[in-house]
Structure 1
Amino acid sequence: MMTLPVDYESDDYQFLKTLNEDVQVLPVSPTANHWDIQMENDDYVNLTGKESLRNAICIAIMTRFNELDSIPLYEEFGCRAHQLIKANKSEMVKYEIELYISEVLENMRRIQEVNSLKVSDSDTCSYLVEFNVTSVNDETITGSVNI
Structure 2
Amino acid sequence: MTLPYDEYNKFKTLNEDIKLVPDKYGVYDMEFINGDLHNVTGLESLYNACVLIIMTRYQELISNKTYNSFGCRVHELIKDNKSKMLLYKLEVYIEEVLKSMRRVKNVNEIIITETGAYEYNVHFNITSITDETIRGDVLL
Asked if these proteins are the same fold (TM beyond 0.5), I'd say: yes
SS in 1 for 2:138: strand
5+ residue gaps, structure 2:
none
Deviation at 1:7, TM superposition (A): 3.4
1:3 match: none
**One-letter amino acid of the counterpart of residue 87, structure 1:** D
Paired residues in the alignment total 140
Deviations 1:58-94 (A, max 9, x none): 0000000000111111111000000011111111111
Corresponding residue for residue 33 of structure 1? 26
Q: CA deviation at 1:13?
A: 1.5
In structure 2, what is the Cα distance between the partners aligned to 1:139 and 1:39? 27
Q: What is the distance in 1 between the residues matched to 2:77 and 2:7?
A: 36
Deviation for aligned residue 1:38: 0.6
Among residues 50, 62, 85, which one is paired with 1:57 in the alignment?
50
CA–CA separation in structure 2 for the residues paired with 1:143 and 1:47? 15
The 1:26–1:8 alpha-carbon spacing in structure 2 relative to 1, beyond 3 Å, is closer
Residue equivalent to 2:71: 78
Whether contact under 8 Å (2:3, 2:41) holds in the other structure is no
Query: Match of 2:51, SS?
Result: helix
SS of 2:81's equivalent in the other structure is coil
* Structure 1 spans left out of the alignment, 5+ residues: 1-5
- Amino acid in structure 2 at the alignment position of 1:39: F
2:31 maps to a residue whose letter is Q
- The 1:134/1:88 distance shift into structure 2, 3 A limit, reads same
What is the aligned partner in structure 2 of residue 107 from structure 1? Answer: 100
Aligned equivalent of 2:36: 43
Root-mean-square deviation (CA, aligned residues, Å) is: 1.3
Deviations 1:73-120 (A, max 9, x none): 111100000001111111111100001001001100000000111111
TM-score, with length taken from structure 2: 0.95
Find the aligned partners of 1:132 and 1:12 in 2 and give their Cα distance: 22
Instruction: Decide whether the 8 Å contact of 1:119 with 1:129 is kept in 2.
Output: yes
| Structure 1 runs, 4 residues or longer, greater than 6 Å off | none
Aligned to 2:4: 9
